Structure 1
Amino acid sequence: MAPPPSKERATGAPAGASITRRTFLRGLVGFAGAAALEPWLLGARVWAADGGNVLSPEAPPGEGSAGAEEKAAGALWNEELVTVGADRMAVSWVTDAPGETALWLGERPEEMRRYAWGDRTRHHLAEVEGLAPDTRYVYRVETDGTVGPLNSFRTLPKPPGTRRLRLGWIADSHLAAGSGAGDLNQRYLGKLTDAAPTLLERALDDLMRKGVDAIIHAGDLTDTAHPDEYRAFQTIVAPYAARVPFAAVPGNHDKYRRKTGGIGEAGFREAIGDTLPRLLDLGAATVILLDSARPDDDWGWIPSASLAWLNRTLNETAGRPTFIVLHHPANGMDLWFGTTNFFALQAVIAKHPHVVGVLSGHMHRNFISLARHGDGTLPYIELPATVQFPNGYGLIDLYDGGYVYTSHKISAIDLSERSREAVLKGLNDAYVLYTLGGPGDRNLSYDAGRRTAVRQSGFAVVAVVELTRLFTLLKERIGAAFSVAAAEAANLRRLVFGRFATREEAERRRAELAAVLPFSLAVKEETGGSLPRSL
């Protein structure tokens, strides 16, 4: 647990730390993100990666040439607002030296209050709970007086009724014995097989701290299906499974035999003790677990017998909110070995409007596609891996009339950044966009009665400049805070001057900055580097 937050009164933001060429280059890896929000009145619960909460209010930072923005330009890296739900948010960022984790939050910039934790770290993760649904917030991050750009966002609407269930969801832990499978993800795209046990355990800790009622694993428990990997999985999961219901489906890696010398499905059955397909009764909802994996085959497939069983079971559970979990994505042919007979699966699902979501892993990314079934919309949600950037897990809050889904980073931002940096240079920018996804790939509110979904959106004010010019801007302290992202060429960098809930807000900010900045600015809608949303 974190120590109590600092109670010191802010006296103004000190000058940002000086930035050397070496410091700057170390901070440029990956995608820089940000958006904004605040606690509802003073009742919000705010907590850091290691569990700290109650924070102290301070005075807001100034703006303009005499304020904190001038002193903070370019000193915060990889600022990413990952989570925005109906009542919660989570933001992460990185600094070159250890410092304080702090958030400025308020309904308007002039009313922002400062909330801070005492722990000093380079890898910052702050989470806020207790926010008001469907409400606009503004926010900015700060470390030791250096602040990021001002941003805005709107929380998701809450579905009708009372919350009945909180479901935790993880995928693709890829526990590895020895050197692992040696696949493309491991060699070129930042899969941290050596840190897989730590990341799995931290994800489970995070979910338990959030008070989940059950945990589902969407497959690829192991990397090679080696007996030692299954034993390691059992050892890690057992204490959590003793506290809440735990269930899993196998992934393609869990059925490796010839490819890796693993023991395949026999190991999964021994580790989990389940025969699939099966139904998990959680009282307020039903979870149906399907096996989409076949031995030594990376493509997904649902056997006809399983589809017939699914249809019968859905008939028996009619009227009760039902989630379907399988390893392979099932809303269109995907880039990386999806479910090949997804049409047959969707034909069954379309008969049963009480199915409220289809959950999968496999692709190691945040992605939500919406399928039209009858007169309604159904979300197909893909979750990133615990073992690979952004190193995440999912949370589903089920209400009487629907649910809210949010994606979260594991509280191990040092490992998340290590995964980001391990991506093959030249692919980093595109791959991070792909795996992190856009705001609407990470957060969703679903009204089960109307069968409609509301997703997050975001608009960024950006400029693309040459690297040499950026050093000049940092030296001159241009009077506007920004974060830095990789751009499409090695000699270019994307400067982000804020992220906003609506295009109108972003355009207003662009016009304000255009009067004082010596280069052109654009407003870009933020989306992930993804395929079409449905086929």
Structure 2
Amino acid sequence: MKYYSCLLCLLFFSVTASAAEIQHIWLTHQSHQPDKIVVNWSTSLPGNSIVHFGLAPDSMTTVKKADNTSLHHVEIPLAARDAIYHYRVQTGKLFSDLATFKAYPTDRLRVAIVADWQARPDLSSLLKDDIHLLLTAGDNISNLWQTCGPGKPDCIEPYLNLIGAYPELFRSTPFMPILGNHDREVYPRGKQPPEHAVYDVEATAFRRFFELPDEEWKWKFDIPEFGIRFAALDFNHISDIGTTWQTCHPLDRESEQYRWYESVTQKHPGHLVTLYNERNATMRGQLQGEWHKLFQRGTLCVTGFGYFAERAEVDGVTYYNSSLSGTGTQYPDPHSKFLAGKDSYLLLTCDRNSGVLTVELKSLKNEVLDRQQFSPRSEK
């Protein structure tokens, strides 16, 4: 009898431990500068949140949160530069494997921007670039309703699936996405606007899953040592504003978004990179060109609205379109200077000594499709 009791206990413990395993790990930034990083993970059973980290595996500091959750977010300080951090996460008695990420550099910064991630492509080329930060220009998932069922705005399963598709990338590289319409599609869009809202404008699941600065549906992030600021805006399908197809926040002159971006662009470092998910030419014409005037305060704008690679030049501003699904219908910008129907991403390299920002449109086969350099601007 004792034998069977012990066997049952062992089986119960094994099943419980397996069910409560640490399943996904990803890194984000919640602060406005890279002196802190957020370590995120999920567990199928709730528990506390503990991160062990340091510059060597045998001398690590511990940060604890005594919460009881299955979605864990712990912010840790980053004091070092040009170093490798080691870390592992813990919930209860469960530990993850040891992982690493790069501290930010002192000489040359590498940032990648991707968009239209629905197809889950091979990112071997991007991994070879050994980036310090990964950003997006929207549409990180296909939608919420196919995985979660219609009408469930807080379901994070599609985002867990994204992290699960690239485990090594996300546990080693800070990730700061922006919103597209697909990221908050809680009902099928259909051919006509229905009586109920199709999109969750507040992006409940996205904001629950990612720890980002500001309101998270818009944010800014500075890397002062390199004189660069990234600003994320919530633009997608703006022609649907005011209908049940509305997907993004308002952008009129009195909107929170317009006033915020106006203040963000008034004083900024040598480079300002703006991210959104609407067609560039459409955004330039908004408010009788007022948005374009704000964009002129910066260096470049990046969208993932179209399924192609493009660079356009207008009034001293460079507008990029990049897509990991780059073989769709092309509708060139009236001011297009480069256009290609290839899967692509952007690689930004900033040299600290000169302040020069190099931007490459790269294919997923590691081809450089287009290359431009930008000198830093004086403070606006």
TM-score by length of 2: 0.52
State the alpha-carbon separation in 1 of the partners of residues 173 and 288 from structure 2. Answer: 31
Q: Which runs of 5 or more structure 1 residues have no equivalent in the other structure? A: 1-161, 175-195, 414-438, 452-535
Which residue is equivalent to 1:135?
none
Q: Which runs of 5 or more structure 2 residues have no equivalent in the other structure? A: 1-105, 149-156, 190-197, 328-340
| 2:135 and 2:175 in contact (8 A); partners too | yes
Matched, 1:396 2:323: no
Which residue is equivalent to 1:277?
218
Q: For residues 262 and 224 of structure 1, do their structure 2 counterparts lie closer, same or farther at Cα, with a shift above 3 Å needed?
A: farther
Matched, 1:266 2:198: no
Q: 3-state SS of the aligned residue for 1:380?
A: strand
**What is the 5 A alignment of 1:189-208?**
196-197=119-120, 199=121, 202-203=122-123, 205-208=124-127
Q: 3-state SS of the aligned residue for 1:397?
A: strand
- How big is the shift at 1:234? 3.2
Amino acid at match of 2:130: G
- By relative contact order (CA 8 Å, sep 6+), the higher-ranking structure is 1
State the alpha-carbon separation in 1 of the partners of residues 346 and 161 from structure 2. Answer: 22
Identity %: 14
| 1:225 and 1:262 in contact (8 A); partners too | no
State the structure with more CA Rg.
1
2:257 maps to which of 289, 301, 306: 306
Q: 3-state SS of the aligned residue for 1:242?
A: helix
Matched, 1:233 2:177: no
Q: For residues 309 and 238 of structure 1, do their structure 2 counterparts lie closer, same or farther at Cα, with a shift above 3 Å needed?
A: farther
- How big is the shift at 1:409? 2.2
Matched, 1:173 2:117: yes
Superposed CA deviations along residues 138-181 of structure 1, whole A, max 9, x for unmatched, are xxxxxxxxxxxxxxxxxxxxxxxx9632111110012xxxxxxx
- How big is the shift at 1:220? 0.8
Superposed CA deviations along residues 375-403 of structure 1, whole A, max 9, x for unmatched, are xx110111023474622222112233432
- How big is the shift at 1:321? 1.5
Amino acid at match of 1:224: N
- How big is the shift at 1:412? 10
- How big is the shift at 1:262? 7.2
| 1:166 and 1:212 in contact (8 A); partners too | yes
Superposed CA deviations along residues 327-378 of structure 1, whole A, max 9, x for unmatched, are 1133x239xxx9855823222233x3xx211111110111111111xxxx11
| 1:255 and 1:296 in contact (8 A); partners too | no
Which residue is equivalent to 2:294?
348
| 1:259 and 1:296 in contact (8 A); partners too | no
Q: For residues 328 and 243 of structure 1, do their structure 2 counterparts lie closer, same or farther at Cα, with a shift above 3 Å needed?
A: same
| 1:395 and 1:406 in contact (8 A); partners too | yes
- How big is the shift at 1:257? 2.8
Which residue is equivalent to 2:137?
218
Q: For residues 220 and 380 of structure 1, do their structure 2 counterparts lie closer, same or farther at Cα, with a shift above 3 Å needed?
A: same
State the alpha-carbon separation in 2 of the partners of residues 237 and 170 from structure 1. Answer: 14
Q: For residues 251 and 287 of structure 1, do their structure 2 counterparts lie closer, same or farther at Cα, with a shift above 3 Å needed?
A: same
Which residue is equivalent to 1:365?
308
TM-score by length of 1: 0.38
Superposed CA deviations along residues 428-457 of structure 1, whole A, max 9, x for unmatched, are xxxxxxxxxxx9xx4132332589xxxxxx
State the alpha-carbon separation in 2 of the partners of residues 342 and 271 from structure 1. Answer: 36
**What is the 5 A alignment of 1:10-409?**
164-174=108-118, 196-197=119-120, 199=121, 202-203=122-123, 205-226=124-145, 227=148, 228-236=157-165, 239-260=168-189, 265-274=203-212, 275-283=216-224, 284=226, 285-293=228-236, 296-297=245-246, 302=251, 304-317=255-268, 319-330=269-280, 332-333=281-282, 340-341=286-287, 343-350=289-296, 352=297, 355-372=298-315, 377-386=316-325, 388=327, 390-399=342-351, 400-409=354-363
Which residue is equivalent to 2:34?
none
Q: For residues 391 and 307 of structure 1, do their structure 2 counterparts lie closer, same or farther at Cα, with a shift above 3 Å needed?
A: same
| 2:116 and 2:140 in contact (8 A); partners too | yes
State the alpha-carbon separation in 1 of the partners of residues 249 and 370 from structure 2. Answer: 25
Amino acid at match of 1:363: G
Q: For residues 363 and 163 of structure 1, do their structure 2 counterparts lie closer, same or farther at Cα, with a shift above 3 Å needed?
A: farther
State the alpha-carbon separation in 2 of the partners of residues 328 and 448 from structure 1. Answer: 26
Superposed CA deviations along residues 6-27 of structure 1, whole A, max 9, x for unmatched, are xxxxxxxxxxxxxxxxxxxxxx
Two-structure CA RMSD over aligned residues (Å): 3.3
Give the paired residue count.
226
State the alpha-carbon separation in 2 of the partners of residues 445 and 210 from structure 1. Answer: 17
State the alpha-carbon separation in 1 of the partners of residues 232 and 291 from structure 2. Answer: 13
| 2:312 and 2:320 in contact (8 A); partners too | yes
- How big is the shift at 1:208? 2.7
Q: 3-state SS of the aligned residue for 2:116?
A: coil
